């Protein structure tokens, strides 16, 4: 009994620690110290109200969106730099997306941000990197750091082509596995508004995945069942074409009716199969390919 007790306590401590700084946040498992979803939504909405939503102009009717997730920058950022180099070099990429877990834990935000400031973009084009928050961007009370650099985690952006066609990308915050009442209401209203706008493509981007179909749910937690079905219903009801997410570190593509849910591989340097996705958005349904990076670990 004594051994079981010691093992159980050790397991909980290991679950709740940041191995880089040896900070512990056991209480986070029972009552998280980071801002909750409704507080974060307030921060995001405040920024949205002041600055509005962005419109990005593509230079062709068919353009590329580079999508990465789970970079977990801590002691190294090799794959992250490769990703930034790749999307900035692509003349036809007006938009790159990161689906959360930019950093592994606290104290790495500025180290993560530096390549974005130093890697030059192709002088012939402009590009934008958009993000949502992941659980690693939140715990140990990191929301303030996220907001300092990225301002908002619940918003949408429109990509407009030279012929005036428009694609809508909606970003929602699922950093702790739920949407919360305010964000759900906002998502419903935004999708209802989108119904009347004749967008060519409608994509929802977030961190936490809906399903877990591969052989384990070993290391990632997702949403409660009620939330999963309610969100899925909403996405299908409004004919969302794709749902892009991360969190699981393993690629998984699920077709459900007309909608496709894609869990993008992790870009973490210590990941055995790091990869990112390049989606081609034209007049046809969105197509995509994955770019495998050379693993940095055995």
Partner 1 sequence: MNKRLLLVFLMVAGMLPAMAQVQYGTSQYGVRMNIGYNHNTTYGSFATFDFGAFMPINQHFEMQADLRFSTARNHSLGVQVRPKFPVPVGEFFIEGRLLAGLYPRDGFNDLTQALAVGYRMEYVSFQVGMSTRLIMESPYDWHANSNIIVEPFNICYKLEVFVRPQTSPWNISLCASNMTDYQIERVWEPIFMANGMYNIDQNWQINLSALCKPTGMFHLNAKYYAAEVRAGFAYNF
Residues that bind partner 1 (CB under 8 A): 15-16, 25, 28-34, 36-39, 135, 138-140, 175-181, 184, 211-213, 215-217, 220-227, 229-230, 232-233, 236, 254-257
Residue 77 Cβ, how far from partner 1 at the closest point, in Å?
Answer: 23
Residue 164 Cβ, how far from partner 1 at the closest point, in Å?
Answer: 33
Residue 82 Cβ, how far from partner 1 at the closest point, in Å?
Answer: 27
Q: Which is nearer to partner 1, 160 or 211 (CB)?
A: 211
Residue 95 Cβ, how far from partner 1 at the closest point, in Å?
Answer: 27
Q: Which is nearer to partner 1, 201 or 212 (CB)?
A: 212
- If one counts every other C-beta atom within 10 angstroms of the C-beta of residue 258, the result is 10
Q: Which is nearer to partner 1, 211 or 290 (CB)?
A: 211
Q: Which is nearer to partner 1, 1 or 120 (CB)?
A: 1
Q: Rounded to whole angstroms, what are the CA distances from 202 to 55, 80, 158, 167, 244?
A: 14, 26, 10, 6, 11
**CA gap 165, 159 in Å, rounded:** 8
Helix axes 109-118, 78-89, angle to 10 degrees: 30
Residue 243 Cβ, how far from partner 1 at the closest point, in Å?
Answer: 13
Contacting residues for 121 by C-beta, under 8 A, at least 6 apart:
88, 127
Q: Which is nearer to partner 1, 5 or 215 (CB)?
A: 215
Please return the burial class of 292, using the count of CB atoms within 10 Å of its CB with bins 0-12, 13-18 and 19+: exposed
């Amino acid at each position: 009994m004594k051994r079981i007790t010691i093992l159980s306590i050790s397991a909980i401590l290991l679950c709740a620690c940041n191995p880089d700084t040896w900070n512990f946040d056991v209480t986070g498992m029972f009552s998280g110290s980071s801002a909750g979803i409704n507080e974060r939504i307030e921060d995001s909405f405040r920024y949205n109200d002041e600055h509005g939503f962005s419109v990005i102009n593509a230079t062709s009717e068919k353009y590329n969106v580079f999508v990465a997730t789970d970079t977990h920058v801590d002691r190294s950022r090799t794959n992250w730099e490769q990703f930034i180099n790749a999307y900035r070099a692509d003349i036809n990429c007006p938009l790159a997306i990161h689906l959360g877990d930019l950093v592994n834990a606290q104290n790495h935000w500025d180290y993560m941000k530096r390549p974005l400031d130093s890697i030059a973009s192709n002088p012939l084009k402009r590009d934008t990197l958009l993000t949502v928050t992941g659980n690693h961007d939140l715990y140990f009370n990191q929301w303030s750091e996220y907001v300092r650099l990225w301002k908002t985690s619940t918003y949408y952006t429109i990509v407009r082509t030279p012929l005036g066609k428009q694609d809508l990308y909606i970003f929602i915050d699922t950093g702790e596995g739920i949407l919360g009442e305010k964000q759900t209401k906002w998502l419903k209203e935004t999708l209802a508004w989108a119904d009347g706008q004749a967008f060519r493509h409608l994509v929802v981007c977030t961190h936490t995945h809906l399903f877990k179909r591969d052989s384990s749910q070993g290391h990632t937690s997702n949403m409660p069942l009620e939330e999963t079905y309610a969100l899925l219903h909403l996405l299908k009801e409004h004919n969302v074409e794709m749902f892009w997410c991360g969190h699981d570190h393993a690629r998984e593509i699920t077709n459900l009716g007309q909608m496709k849910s894609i869990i993008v591989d992790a870009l973490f340097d210590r990941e055995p199969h790091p990869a990112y996705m390049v989606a081609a958005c034209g007049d046809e349904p969105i197509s995509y390919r994955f770019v495998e990076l050379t693993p940095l670990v055995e």
